[in-house]
Chain A
């Protein structure tokens, strides 16, 4: 019998703990496949965050750190500077990266650390039980915005890919999504590109991946996919936000 689909060497065989319908599993799979495709598994070090994907260190089949909440990009900086020959990636959610870890991600990107960040944006805190995230949509219900996100109190959702993309430092920054098979295929190509830039030693790379959270959104998987498409896509447009090739040398070299 011909095998037409197999597990990827980039992931372990452990069953994940994610809720039914969660897209973390799909995003893990994409990252795992890219690691396998590029043949970098034996020289890759991953960094798990705090949040739903806190146990990612059990699932990726490579050396793994577990970082404190939001600090994965700093851990990545230390690891990559100490051993430039290894491939370093962090896998972070929206609370981890865009709230408590805002400082670390901005400065890691701005220093141009040659690391890859997979940023999963599902517009909610999952593990702690559905609280407001920096990326929660205006009007969206969460357990700490029981009347919906009031932008007069909470401001507007943070667009991380666009924020990182506007830094002067060369980088590869893109946003993909998981709400259709077509977008999943496109997102895997973005993740592959992100790792390729690191393998080539070119630049910092970040892929924001829009993800669904049926459990905390209180919707079925199908409804969640539709909600993402209807509510999130117009606010978080997909595509490549920045390429290192577009970088024009800045003629700023202040001398004393």
Chain B
């Protein structure tokens, strides 16, 4: 299929349709509003349902209702709206329903601003809402990858009966890039299985519920969920690396669009003979700790780049331990780091390693 030039938010909406999701409930918020706008136009064309909810609180409970009756369903929002959806995500995770939520991140805290940020990392991966639950969190670094990960998100949500979040910064939502879509309907219809509320004809009644007043039963429910998260941790770690084939002095860690900016700086430095590699987690949860440890073992130092004040940094530190040499550079508030800034920070980190630049194309002594 030919490539089309598309804005990220619209491509996310189209990707959901290609995955077989024709139900959307959402609320406008910059910088994700093009998703509901696009789907308001497209969903009636494919026999789907679009509802503009009165709030993100309502939208997130509408997807709870739609998933509960056994249909594939999407909502999208941006940081402050995702905060409002968090309560429902706890219920959805507790009830083990498959939903996909896209967060096109803007800056915070509070109302923050409307420009790109990555400051919901910890919210998405560690503390979305009350109770012990985890989402699968996927972070695209291009519009094409956003399309691919939205489709994957539905597969994972239905495989594990768990909410999956695709988390991109405002740039992913707003920029246009060429994308290629799989043919329509790659997703098989959702199998309502033995859990969906479809009316109890020919069977006993079903209940979708997260209230367990008996502490032992609630404890067992938590153990069951935890076992599922462990299964996800083992099976679903995804990451990407760049320049890791040869030797390198510095390993840069970055996710989403920050990794694209880092690559530009890495390529520039390579021209100067500096050996810098990149490790990019695609699943922010489950975080690829072992793979990062392996990649970092070849480097003298690690530089973590993020558009926040050091959130993934906690996972990088957890992966590499307290003795690892880790530098951090973060921007926030909607300020996007330039390749030059990243280059400067990389050079600073390299200078701490005592390594000298190798002439371009030079081989390391055996």
A and B are partners in one complex rather than unrelated chains: yes
Query: Would you call B209 and A74 a contact (CB within 8 A)?
Result: no
Whether the Cβ atoms of A44 and B73 lie closer than 8 Å is no
Q: Is the CB of B211 within 8 A of A81?
A: no
Bound form: Cα–Cα A216–B55 in Å: 33
B233 beta carbon closer than 8 Å to chain A:
no
Taking a contact as CB atoms under 8 Å apart, the answer to whether B66 and A81 are in contact is yes
- CA of A41 to CA of B73, assembled, Å: 26
- Contact B200–A75 (Cβ < 8 Å): no
What mask results when residues 22 to 44 of chain B are scored 1 for a CB within 8 Å of chain A, else 0? 01010000000000000000000
Q: How far is the CB of B258 from chain A (nearest CB, A)?
A: 35
Query: B176: CB under 8 A from chain A?
Result: no
Determine whether the beta carbon of B66 is less than 8 Å from that of A63.
Answer: no
Q: Counting CB contacts under 8 A, is A107 at the interface?
A: yes
* Number of residue pairs A-B, CB distance < 8 angstroms: 131
Asked if residues A78 and B61 are in contact (CB atoms below 8 Å), the reply is yes
A58 — which chain B residues lie within 8 A by C-beta?
207
Q: Report the interface size class on chain A.
A: 35 or more
- Within B146-164, the residues touching A (CB, 8 Å) are none
One of B54, B64, B198, B205 near A78 (C-beta < 8 A): B64
Q: Which residue on A lies nearest to B55, using beta carbons?
A: A103
A136 vs chain B, min Cβ distance (A): 24
Write the B175-188 contact mask toward A (1 if CB under 8 angstroms, else 0): 00000000000000
Contacts of A144 in B (CB 8 A): none
The reply to whether A71 and B61 form a contact with Cβ atoms under 8 Å apart is yes
| B69 interface residue per 8 A CB criterion | yes
- In the complex the two chains form, what is the Cα distance from A95 to B65 in whole Å? 21
- Is A43 among interface residues, defined by CB-CB distance under 8 A? yes
Scan residues 53-82 of chain A and give those whose CB is less than 8 A from a CB of chain B: 54-55, 57-58, 61-68, 71, 74-82
Contact residue among A44, A75, A104 (Cβ-Cβ distance under 8 Å from B199): A44
Could you tell me the distance between the alpha carbons of A61 and B199 in the complex, rounded to whole angstroms? 11
**Minimum CB–CB distance for B101 against chain A, Å:** 14
B315 in contact (CB, < 8 A)? no
Asked if B20 is an interface residue, CB under 8 A from chain A, the answer is: no
Residue in B23, B49, B205, B209 whose beta carbon sits within 8 Å of that of A66 in the complex: B209
Complex contact B61–A82 (CB within 8 A): no
Residue of B23, B62, B197 touching A64 (CB-CB under 8 A)? B197
B198 touches A83 (CB 8 A): yes
With contact pairs A71-B88, A104-B61 given, residues A45 and B209 touching in the complex (Cβ less than 8 Å): no
Contact A57 B209 (CB under 8 A): yes
Query: Which residues on A sit within 8 Å (CB–CB) of B73?
Result: 78, 82
In the complex, what distance in Å separates the CA atom of A43 from the CA atom of B62? 19
Question: Do the beta carbons of A82 and B205 come within 8 Å of each other?
Answer: no
Residue of B nearest to A115 (CB): B65
Asked if A223 is at the interface (CB within 8 A of a chain B CB), the reply is: no
Complex alpha-carbon distance, A75 and B68, angstroms: 9
Inter-chain contacts of A81 with B (CB < 8 A): 23, 25, 49, 51, 62, 66
* Listed A/B pairs (10) with beta-carbon separation below 8 Å: A57-B209, A64-B207, A65-B197, A66-B207, A68-B88, A71-B88, A74-B53, A80-B65, A103-B55, A106-B54
Given A42-B200, A74-B57, 19 other A-B residues pairs in contact with their CB atoms under 8 A: A42-B202, A45-B199, A58-B207, A63-B206, A64-B208, A77-B53, A78-B62, A79-B65, A79-B66, A81-B49, A81-B51, A82-B65, A82-B66, A82-B69, A83-B70, A86-B197, A86-B198, A107-B54, A107-B58
